[in-house]
């Protein structure tokens, strides 16, 4: 049994059941898709040391449990700012129609170099206390009912306050990626953030499962540093427009942490529908 999110088959990448999500056993969770494309973008050559400042994922169609291909290109080259793009498409033999692209990601990288900063430059922001470390929380079971092997149940470890996955509202969740994107390849820090950030709308839901869908067609991650170890924490909240007829649109926001402090922020647009 392969304990990875994807395997390679020639030029194709093939998802395993460990990448599937809660909405369907035949569709992928957004986290593995984000991790896969982040991995592809990080391997592209750069003109010098670059920092992955923004990763944006667009989920154009449901990503199925089938062979796919990845294509990459440079959108903007440069020594100080670089923008890269990766697309994920159904393999030609799986997609007789022209509409084969299922997801697209862009990575904006900024040149990284030492800069001497003035003392106390962070003082105007005030204190920024982080959550307790992951060891302060018990491991949580993310299973819904009698689910088979899925990404959210076996590919990641969740640690948070008791029953936080079973209650509605804001949540703090420490997440550790257990299974790598590809067999035998250790996930990079960016891949670990991408694999975790898509959980924001699920852990901070304010609508009950079984009665509503709240799907995110995108995920944007802004970072100013990378995690120091395997753990990434999401301090997440979901907001809906309840002022008029806009309740079908929402936004999930997550502050991202590691055990030493804040990393950045992620956001997900939400399409809300009654089942």
pLDDT (0 to 100) of residue 93: 64
As a whole number of angstroms, the distance between CA 190 and CA 225 comes to: 10
As a whole number of angstroms, the distance between CA 7 and CA 14 comes to: 5
pLDDT (0 to 100) of residue 46: 85
Sign of CA dihedral 199, 200, 201, 206: positive
Query: Into which CATH architecture does domain 6-112+139-274 fall?
Result: Beta Barrel (2.40)
Kind and range of the H or E run holding 30: helix 30-42
Task: Evaluate whether 57 touches 40 at the Cβ level (below 8 Å).
Answer: no
Digitized pLDDT (tens) for each residue of the chain, 275 residues in all: 468 999 999 999 999 999 998 877 889 999 999 999 999 999 998 878 999 999 999 999 999 999 999 999 999 988 899 999 999 999 776 555 556 899 999 999 999 888 888 888 887 777 788 899 999 999 988 776 566 788 988 899 999 987 667 778 999 999 999 999 999 999 999 999 999 999 999 999 988 877 888 889 999 999 999 999 999 999 999 999 877 776 688 999 999 999 999 999 999 999 988 88
Residue located via tokens 């590809």: 182
Sign of CA dihedral 248, 105, 228, 109: negative
């Amino acid at each position: 049994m392969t304990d990875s999110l994807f395997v390679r088959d020639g030029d194709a990448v093939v998802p395993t059941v460990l990448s599937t999500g809660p909405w369907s056993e035949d569709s992928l969770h957004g986290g593995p898709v984000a991790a896969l494309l982040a991995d592809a973008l990080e391997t592209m050559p750069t003109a010098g040391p670059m920092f992955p400042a923004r990763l944006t994922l667009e989920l154009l169609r449901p990503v199925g449990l089938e062979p796919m291909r990845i294509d990459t290109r440079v959108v903007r080259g440069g020594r100080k700012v670089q923008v890269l793009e990766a697309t994920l498409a159904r393999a030609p033999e799986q997609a007789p129609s022209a509409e084969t692209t299922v997801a697209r990601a862009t990575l904006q990288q900024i040149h990284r170099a030492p800069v001497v900063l003035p003392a106390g430059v962070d003082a105007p922001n005030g204190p920024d206390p982080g959550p307790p470390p992951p060891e302060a929380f018990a491991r949580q079971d993310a299973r819904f009912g009698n689910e088979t092997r899925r990404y959210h149940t076996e590919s990641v470890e969740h640690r948070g306050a008791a029953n936080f996955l079973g209650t509605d509202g804001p949540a703090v969740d420490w997440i550790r990626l257990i299974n790598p994107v590809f067999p035998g390849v250790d996930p990079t820090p960016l891949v670990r953030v991408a694999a975790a950030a898509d959980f924001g709308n699920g852990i901070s839901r304010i609508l009950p499962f079984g009665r509503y869908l709240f799907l995110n067609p995108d995920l944007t991650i802004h970072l100013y540093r990378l995690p120091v170890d395997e753990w990434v924490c999401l301090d997440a909240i979901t907001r809906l427009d309840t002022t008029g007829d806009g309740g079908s649109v929402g936004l999930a926001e997550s502050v991202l942490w590691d055990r030493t402090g804040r990393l950045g922020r992620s956001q997900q647009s939400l399409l809300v529908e009654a089942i």
